[in-house]
A and B are shown apart, each in its own frame.
Chain A
């Protein structure tokens, strides 16, 4: 069982990701990266897609990475990881490497839901043994908050702004986790920096699989979402409690909720503290839009519950 002490000890033993990088105060991504890297016992090689994480941690000639780290481009983290993993397999077979090494890829939602989806799908289908972590902060934040396939309905971004004729994004977000599940890989999970214990447990399960694993981690962007940098973890926690971002895993096709809120909070509680949703409340409350958002969440939550029930009854 992971605990904070064990994680802190691992970090003390080998500081895999150091501070003094240039990620914004309150950024959720480094929280995810530290948790993921500290959860893995074996030596790791990290592949990162272009994005905030890459730009802010590797300004030449400095680096925040104390583990082997590779960046090639925006849309290809999964393909690059395929290459690293294939090289590892063959060099191990040829006796050039003796260690057990884990390959982890980090990419944002733009680099995963959108431009990197094809590379991800291909790598999952081929069955490379690697963990892909999507740090999902729901828009292209490195370029300054543009709409992505992960941006939620009615959120305001610079490319789907609010105006006389617009209430922000008019489409629903893509359910990437479900798309990944359709690849029938050994392990898929949805996690959040709002629940480190859940995240760390999932990472351990993920890297123990002899095949591809995928974790979609919600990470907040205080600049893009419009909340105080001290509220990052709280905001992501609210996404869990409102069932906007349920925590679950799909192991060998069996769906399981890893956290069930005692009382499902109304979505307004997650929306209100974020400036990207301010237009839903001011100058006047957009009751119809709010009702629509709640309806979508309720429907998705019911669907997820049914899936998990079916899996539970099938495994009895």
Chain B
């Protein structure tokens, strides 16, 4: 859908990391705390060069850890600044304590995540264990398939985060190396168009307004804590509606329409559905095209939004299908994959529940090929035992 529009536009050869950095530049953040970690590093390097070249007026804070990166981000955001940052893997793990506080304090911080496996053993390659670890931290989580999506959804994501009905931090997640380090043609919007689309960030209660002092981050006991958490629940519930609104506006601006909260690829008549996050959706499209040539009715549901989880929309889309293969690029040790658990819960609302299969793939950057994805449909067709977690490409 998006690709057809792109062919008419001028495109620049950019890696996912560079695309994310261009989005950061155009969003004109006031403060960007940075700390290096593979594979996110080129995002902050590219951005630092933009600042060094005077292309954007930003205070970069070269912090001494990701924990301090997120802490400085919260400080600057409460102060009244638009704040962006980036991280991966262990960096996100180190930030996590403060990620929960960022969302509770309603700081619309934008963070690019180059997804990478969590230690141990230490590994620098892609899987989604870092982002999944942070799934309960109160952040909006957007998964991107390619560099174009990483760019577009960073722009839309920031406006979404700062919308008065939302005010939540946002992670725009791209697969480490597969996207962060691979160059693709990317259509960038003019600087002014992005500036106009996102506007100036106006904090509701900036700390630096010394004429109107506010106490931020107070101590809440059992008499108030619960209500404050409930406000976060409500904010999350508003995300889907605002997302759709903004995507319509963004489509007019860019010609790229992210319709709904997931991309439906050859889904209409599909008996069998693959559900995937991130770059592997691209591989799955190739696999599905080949399967379609074999007259197999297979389709793909690729989620952009993972948090808030679009349970109702997914349930509607999967209702009445024969079987669904849910591909998780992360473990929740001792349970099903995170995506599987979400979808399984979402389907409680419908009567014609398809059989769900859980596949774990690509951990620590293990490659996944179209043929492997194609073979999944055999399990689904022959009604193999769905009661076990299956592993793709694993040496047993």
Contacts and interface: CB of A to CB of B under 8 A. Distances in A.
B98 A60 contact: no
Contact of A83 (B33, B210, B216, B224): B33
Contacts of A70: 75, 78, 207, 216-217
B71 A88 contact: no
B57 interface: yes
B213 to A, nearest CB: 5
Interface string B214-250: 1111111100100010000000000000000000000
Nearest to B203: A87
Contacts, number: 164
Interface in A134-169: none
Given A47-B75, A61-B224, A87 B31 contact: yes
B349 interface: no
Nearest to A22: B219
Contact of A79 (B59, B75, B79, B224): B75
A121 B65 CA distance: 11
Interface in B103-119: 105
A66 B208 CA distance: 13
Contacts of B221: 59-60
A83 B57 contact: no
A68 B78 CA distance: 10
B31 A86 contact: yes
A79 B72 contact: yes
Interface in B53-68: 57-59, 61-65, 67-68
B158 to A, nearest CB: 17
A8 interface: no
B71 A76 contact: yes
Contacts of B72: 79-80, 82-83, 86
A44 B69 CA distance: 23
A44 B213 CA distance: 10
A118 interface: yes
B97 interface: yes
B74 interface: yes
A89 interface: yes
Contacts of B74: 72, 80, 83
Contact of A67 (B77, B83, B210, B220): B210
A68 B213 contact: yes
A83 B215 contact: no
A99 B209 CA distance: 10
A65 interface: yes
Interface string B31-66: 101000000000000000000000001110111110
Interface in A95-141: 96-97, 99, 101, 118-119, 121-123, 125-126
Interface string A23-35: 0000000000000
Contacts of B216: 68-71
Contacts of B75: 47, 70, 72, 79-84, 87
B61 to A, nearest CB: 5
Given A58-B218, A68-B213, A125-B64, A83 B208 contact: no
A45 B71 contact: no
Contact of B73 (A61, A67, A83): A83
Contact of B215 (A69, A76, A126): A69
B392 interface: no
A94 B69 CA distance: 23
Contact of A58 (B64, B208, B213, B219): B219
Contacts of A86: 31, 59, 61, 72, 76, 81
Contacts of A88: 79, 208
Nearest to B74: A72
B101 interface: yes
B57 A94 contact: yes
B101 A73 contact: yes
B80 interface: yes
A2 interface: no
A220 to B, nearest CB: 23
B279 interface: no
Nearest to B28: A94
Nearest to A67: B213
A73 B30 contact: no
A94 to B, nearest CB: 7
A87 B76 contact: yes
A129 B224 CA distance: 35
Nearest to B29: A90
A121 B72 CA distance: 14
Given A76-B68, A84-B208, A87-B77, 11 more contacts: A58-B218, A61-B218, A65-B213, A66-B213, A68-B214, A69-B215, A79-B75, A83-B71, A83-B74, A83-B76, A84-B76
Interface of A: 43-45, 47, 54-55, 58-61, 63, 65-73, 75-76, 78-84, 86-91, 93-94, 96-97, 99, 101, 118-119, 121-123, 125-126
10 contacts: A44-B210, A58-B218, A68-B214, A76-B67, A81-B75, A83-B72, A87-B59, A88-B79, A119-B65, A119-B71
